[in-house]
């Protein structure tokens, strides 16, 4: 059931004109959708990472919509999607609900999945649920390895049962804002974001529900389970790995990809964890190149 009430979304939120709200399986999804007028256009699904929202695709989505139907949801527990069960924020649970969402939208199963960080993990899990697997999956700095010890020391105190309680999330929403911790977290990604881009994250982390959902999601990520299913994925795979990503370190994740996804194409790029936000033109160049190498009959706009 679609709901036109988008009052909770700031007027200046990126790509707000594409926003809609739809209730599926008790989750009130915030989704940004562009339906391409060409009925033969391929469909792209964009899935953001932990702690982000559709704003992550601010400069990616408008370009892709020139040639594709594009779906970009806020994950359960993130952004402006509400009504989720905190105990159902595992990768498999979210993939299942995402599958239901796509069916409810009345859009054929997307041909191309693009995910950032843990969003890439969801892409892989979702592919296993589709009757027709996506032809192509692109993972930007996929969360296929555990964060390094320094990351755990920095965020570890937040990622535990106490921090993921609603009371503590409310406390953190105030504390993070006053302490400047959000800027420090963004700095730790080694990504050069503008003040406007940083303000999007500050808006999100001013909401205790977003903090609660994001931390609950992070604690529920099960990488070994996903990797055990790697042989069941037959989609073309491409992974973009940023050399200065301190959250998903390139040497470790590259080793995992070569072991579990040996046929995947790997792009090694200069940049940090939020590579696609800080370097959207290069990210789009990689996306277009990879799509054209998969679909030889597609010409894309640059």
Q: What are phi and psi of 210, to 5 degrees?
A: -65, -45
Strand arrangement of the beta sheet that strand 27-34 belongs to: 2-3, 19-24, 27-34, 69-73, 43-47, 112-116, 136-140, 236-242, 265-269
pLDDT in the model for residue 219? 82
Please say whether the beta carbons of 45 and 85 come within 8 A. Answer: no
Give the tokens for residue 95.
């993939």
Closest CA to 126 of 87, 89, 100: 100
Give the tokens for residue 256.
């995992």
pLDDT in the model for residue 72? 98
Task: Give the pLDDT of the chain (302 residues) as one tens digit per residue.
Answer: 565 568 899 999 999 999 999 999 999 999 999 999 999 999 999 999 999 999 999 999 999 999 999 999 999 999 999 988 878 889 999 999 999 999 999 998 899 999 999 999 999 999 999 989 999 999 999 999 987 654 443 444 444 444 444 544 444 555 555 447 889 889 999 999 999 999 999 999 888 888 888 888 888 889 999 999 999 999 999 999 999 999 999 999 999 999 999 999 999 999 999 999 999 999 999 999 999 999 866 666 65
User: What HEC string does 164-224 produce?
Assistant: CCHHHHHHHHHHHHHHCHHHHHHHCCCCCCCHHHHHHHHHHCCCHHHHHHHHHHHHHCCHH
pLDDT in the model for residue 168? 46
Q: Measured between alpha carbons, how far is residue 18 from residues 30, 68, 91, 175 in Å?
A: 10, 14, 26, 32
Q: CB neighbours of 114 closer than 8 A, spacing ≥ 6?
A: 44, 45, 46, 47, 60, 123, 137, 138, 140, 287
Closest CA to 192 of 282, 285, 274: 274
Burial class (CB in 10 A: 0-12, 13-18, 19+), 268: exposed
State pTM to two decimals.
0.91
Please say whether the beta carbons of 49 and 78 come within 8 A. Answer: no
Give the tokens for residue 197.
């881009």
Note the pLDDT tens digit of each residue in 175-185. 555 447 889 88
């Amino acid at each position: 059931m679609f709901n036109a009430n988008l009052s909770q979304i700031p007027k200046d939120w990126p790509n707000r004109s594409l926003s809609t709200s739809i209730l599926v399986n008790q989750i009130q999804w915030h989704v940004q959708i562009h339906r391409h007028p060409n009925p033969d256009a391929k469909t792209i699904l964009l899935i953001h990472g932990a702690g982000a929202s559709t704003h992550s695709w601010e400069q990616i989505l408008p370009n892709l919509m020139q040639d594709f139907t594009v779906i970009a949801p806020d994950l359960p527990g993130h952004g402006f999607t509400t009504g989720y069960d905190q105990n159902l924020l595992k990768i498999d649970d979210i993939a299942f609900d995402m599958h239901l969402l796509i069916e409810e939208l009345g859009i054929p199963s997307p041909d191309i999945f693009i995910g950032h960080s843990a969003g890439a993990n969801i892409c892989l899990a979702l592919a296993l649920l589709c009757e027709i697997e996506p032809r192509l999956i692109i993972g930007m700095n996929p969360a296929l390895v555990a964060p390094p010890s320094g990351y755990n020391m920095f965020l570890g105190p937040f990622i535990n049962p106490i921090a993921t309680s609603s009371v503590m999330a409310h406390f953190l929403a105030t504390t993070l804002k006053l302490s400047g911790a959000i800027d420090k977290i963004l700095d730790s990604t080694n990504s050069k974001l503008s003040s406007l881009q940083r303000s999007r994250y500050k808006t999100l982390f001013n909401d205790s529900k977003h903090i609660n959902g994001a931390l609950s999601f992070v604690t529920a990520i099960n990488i070994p389970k996903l990797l055990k299913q790697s042989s069941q994925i037959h989609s073309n795979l491409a992974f973009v790995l940023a050399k200065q990503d301190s959250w998903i370190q390139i040497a470790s994740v590259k080793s995992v990809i070569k072991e579990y996804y040996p046929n995947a194409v790997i792009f090694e790029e200069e940049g940090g964890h939020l590579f696609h936000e800080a370097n959207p033109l290069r990210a789009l160049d990689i996306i277009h190149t990879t799509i054209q190498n998969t679909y030889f009959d597609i010409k894309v706009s640059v």
